Chains A and B, each alone.
Chain A
Amino acid sequence: MAHRILISPVTRIEGHAKISIYVDESGQVDSAQFHVVEFRGFEKICEGRPFHEMPALMARICGICPVSHVLASAKACDSLLGVEIPPVADQLRRLMNYGQILQSHALSFFHLSSPDLLLGFDSEPARRNIFGLLEQDPDFARRGIRLRKFGQRIIELLGGKRIHPSWAVAGGVEDPLSAPGRAEILTGVPECLESLRIALDRFKGILDEFPDETEHLGTFPSLFFGMVSETGTFEHYGGRIRICDGEGNVVADGLDPARYHTYVGEAAEEYSYMKFPFYKPLGYPGGMYRVGPLARCNIATSAGTPLANRELREFKQRAAGGAVCQSFHYHLARLVEMLHAVEKIEEIAGDSGILDTRVRAQAGQNRTEGVGASEAPRGTLFHHYEVDENGLMKRANLVIATGQNNLAMNKAVEQAAKRFVNPAKLTEGMLNRVEAAIRCYDPCLSCSTHALGQMPMEIAVRNLKGEVLSSRTRE
């Protein structure tokens, strides 16, 4: 009898989701879907509010990546003013963005994914978390926490608080970096570099232990989408959009982020509140693309900083056909980006002009439409605002990084389910691998929707009438 296996909620991600695995009449996995079961209303909340409130309001979308929203929002507001922000404000925003990327990636790698990688996908679920990790390797766990804290501290030094800073504003930033703050940042860099060296060596040393997971947790050709600098290096704040295919060919380059709507479409499906963005020229769903660390490592020709560049060259050698198509390598790409972020933090904080106090351009509203884009930890983020002549918001459209990976995440869970799930004999380890396919992407569902509450993990095998044939619960 055909039936459905339900994984709800998906664990060790930000927000709530569930996975349905559909089993055909012969008892084999037929397909799988990733459902996001939260609803977001932020775009509607904004209507009628003054646009200059947007950075502070948008920061509230998420407690994990508020900086990404603040920056994209501030850039959209810069566009409404029609101003170039002071150079030091540009650098300070970049500094905060690198702090954000570092803290978010550290949480994803050390806290959420390392338990699978270092303790094993089949290890006891009750120990397969950061506490199991600290018992096995306390130094590794400690370094992960301190890396995240360093990123958070940069955000706090600039924005006054770790969560929801509203420091980036239309025209620049509210406050300059202080001399003691700069000194503290520079003092923290060496330990971070050492921790990342240890993490990279450790992770690369065990990658060969996961051949099955590497090839079946979302390995498929797709487009890769993100921003690069004029010279093709990593670019997490400005730059132009480059799109490559699964063979590493550049499909589109130099695209203006402000015109994203001409090449990014947004589809909807009944089974999820999260939108399904796609590359318009290839249609839906053929225009599936991936964003985030894996995409950025694939589209960039070099990192732009020496240590990360060495790692990026090695990373690219894992590509069988021009681009690294294994979603499992999001983890490695995250480490490469963390290394790059720390190098850039040192570079920016070390610049002699970084303490300049002219950090905000003054201007009134000069446009009625503005788009801001930046690279959030999970991928490219667009904020698009339309305002009336009085500066009141008429419409907001947010294209969130996690949403842009929606098609790919669905494909990844289906591939993982087909490879690892035996419906006749379910084990927790099988289902953990399906969840792990999602964790590769480190989705932030609070951003892409709205989060509330916490649920136990429930896995149910159902027939097409909805009757539960068997179930497993993880409290």
Chain B
Amino acid sequence: MTLLIAIGNTLRRDDGAAHRVLELVGPAPGMRAVNCHQLTPEVAEDVAGADQVVFIDADLRPGEARLEVLEAGAGWNALGGHALRPWEVLALAVKLFGFGGKAWLCHVPGVDFEEGEGLSSTAERNALAAADLLRDIVRARP
């Protein structure tokens, strides 16, 4: 099973781009989708129940939608607040719950992160491209 985790706040415009990506991908056999505002520790157990996982998040940096292979725990959050970053959740999934699958972070660049709903045209275009990337991963699942 491929787990897709969308991260972001739909009330901060392009910050919600990941949720739009999940809408575009739609339901598919062998796929499960999770929407969240931010990552919290218990998401690690959801990850551990999957064969592979893709975290989808808006990106402040300009560019096109892209996939980045994730390494577990590549830089802890020393501040240790309530929210975790994808590689930290991945580390929890690996070390505490035995996850051994592949993991990616799907970057969806945006340009407008102010209060409001709806995506900018840039983020919408990148969301469409990201959805194509994710469909390929879901189809090629182990």
Chain A interface residues (CB < 8 Å from chain B): 9, 11-14, 60, 63-64, 107, 111-112, 115, 125-126, 128-131, 134-135, 138, 141-142, 144-146, 148-149, 152, 161-164, 454, 456-457, 474-475
- Decide yes or no whether B73 CB sits under 8 A from chain A: yes
Other-chain residue from B45, B76, B79 in contact with A145 (beta carbon distance below 8 A): B45
Interface residues of B in 74-120 (CB under 8 A from A): 76-82, 88, 91-92, 95-97
With contacts A142-B96, A145-B92, A163-B36 taken as known, whether A130 is within 8 angstroms of B81 at the C-beta atoms is: no
Residue B136, interface by CB 8 Å: no
- The answer to whether the Cβ of B122 comes within 8 Å of any Cβ in the partner chain is no
CB distance from A245 to the nearest CB of B (A): 33
Chain B nearest Cβ from A138, distance in angstroms:
6
> In the complex, which residues of chain B have a beta carbon less than 8 angstroms from the beta carbon of A138?
95-96
Q: Is A126 within 8 A of B78, CB to CB?
A: yes
10 A-B pairs with the lowest CB-CB distances in the bound complex, closest first: A149-B42, A129-B80, A142-B96, A145-B41, A12-B80, A11-B79, A131-B76, A14-B82, A148-B42, A63-B37
A415 to chain B, nearest CB (A): 24
Q: Which residues of A contact B91 (CB under 8 A)?
A: 131
1/0 contact trace for B61-81 toward A, CB 8 Å?
A: 000000000000100111111
Residues on B with beta carbons closer than 8 Å to the beta carbon of A135: 95
* 4 extra A-B contacts, CB within 8 A, seeds A125-B78, A131-B76, A454-B79: A13-B81, A112-B80, A130-B41, A162-B36
Q: Evaluate contact between A107 and B40: CB separation under 8 angstroms.
A: yes
Contact present for A115 and B92 (CB under 8 Å): no
List A contacts of B40 (CB < 8 A). Answer: 107, 148, 152
State how many angstroms separate the Cβ of A427 from the closest Cβ of chain B. 16
- Asked whether A14 lies within 8 Å of B81 as measured between CB atoms, the reply is yes
B44 within 8 A of A: yes
Chain B residue with Cβ nearest A131:
B76
Cβ distance A119 to chain B, nearest Cβ, rounded Å: 12
- List the B residue with the shortest CB-CB distance to A455: B79
Q: How many residues of B contact A (CB 8 A)?
A: 24
Known: A12-B81, A142-B96, A145-B96. A129 touches B42 (CB 8 A): no
B76's contact among A126, A141, A144, by CB below 8 Å, is which?
A126
B42's partner among A14, A126, A145, A161 (CB-CB below 8 A) is A145
Shortest Cβ distance from residue B72 to the other chain A in the assembled complex, whole angstroms = 10
Contacts of B41 in A (CB 8 A): 107, 111, 130, 144-145, 148
Please name all residues of chain A whose beta carbon is closer than 8 Å to the beta carbon of B45 when the two chains form the complex: 145-146, 149
Q: Which residues of B contact A63 (CB under 8 A)?
A: 37-38, 82
Given known A142-B97, A145-B45, A148-B41, contact A129–B78 (CB-CB < 8 A): yes
- Please, how many angstroms separate the alpha-carbon atoms of A454 and B91 in the complex? 21
Chain B interface residues toward A at CB < 8 A: 11, 35-38, 40-42, 44-45, 73, 76-82, 88, 91-92, 95-97
Residue of B nearest to A142 (CB): B96
Q: How far is the CA of A145 from the CA of B91 in the complex (A)?
A: 13
CB distance from A9 to the nearest CB of B (A): 8
Question: In the complex the two chains form, is B96's CB within 8 Å of A134's CB?
Answer: yes
- Give A145 to B92 CA distance when docked, in angstroms: 10
Can you list 13 residue pairs at the A/B interface with Cβ under 8 Å? A11-B79, A63-B38, A126-B78, A129-B76, A131-B73, A145-B96, A146-B42, A148-B42, A149-B45, A152-B42, A161-B35, A163-B37, A456-B79
**What residues on A are CB-neighbors of B79 within 8 Å?**
9, 11-12, 454, 456-457, 474
Q: How far is the CB of B67 from chain A (nearest CB, A)?
A: 24
- B37 lies within 8 A of A475 (CB): no
Q: A14–B82 Cα gap in the complex (Å)? A: 6
Contact, CB under 8 Å: A141 / B38: no
Q: CA–CA, A14 to B88, complex, Å?
A: 18
CB distance from B11 to the nearest CB of A (A): 8
Shortest Cβ gap from B126 to chain A (Å): 23
B88 to nearest A CB, angstroms? 7
Q: Which residues of B contact A111 (CB under 8 A)?
A: 41, 80, 82
Taking CB atoms, residues of chain B closer than 8 Å to A134 are 92, 95-96
Most buried by B among A9, A107, A131: A131
Chain A residues lying within 8 Å of B78, measured Cβ to Cβ, are: 125-126, 129, 474-475
Q: Which residues of the other chain, B, contact A457 by a CB distance below 8 angstroms? A: 79
The minimal Cβ–Cβ distance linking A178 to chain B, given in whole angstroms, is: 20
A388 to B38, CA, bound (A): 37
Contacts of A64 in B (CB 8 A): 82
Chain A: which residue is nearest B78 at the CB level? Answer: A126
* Complex CA–CA separation, A129 to B41 (angstroms): 12
Cα separation A372 to B121 with both chains bound (whole Å): 43
CA distance A379 to B141 in the complex (A): 47
Q: How far is the CA of A163 from the CA of B44 in the complex (A)?
A: 16
CB distance from A120 to the nearest CB of B (A): 15
Nearest residue (CB) in B for A111 is B41
Could you say which of B44, B81, B97 has the most chain A C-beta atoms within 10 Å of its C-beta?
B81
A429 to chain B, nearest CB (A): 15
Residues of chain A within 8 A of B36, CB atoms compared: 162-163
Please measure, in the bound complex, the distance between the C-alpha atom of A164 and the C-alpha atom of B36, giving whole angstroms: 10
List of A residues within 8 angstroms of B96 by Cβ: 134, 138, 141-142, 145
- CB-CB < 8 A to A128: which residues of B? 80
Instruction: Give the nearest-CB partner of B12 in chain A.
Output: A452
Q: Which residues of B contact A13 (CB under 8 A)?
A: 81
Residues from chain A with a CB closer than 8 A to the CB of B73 are 131
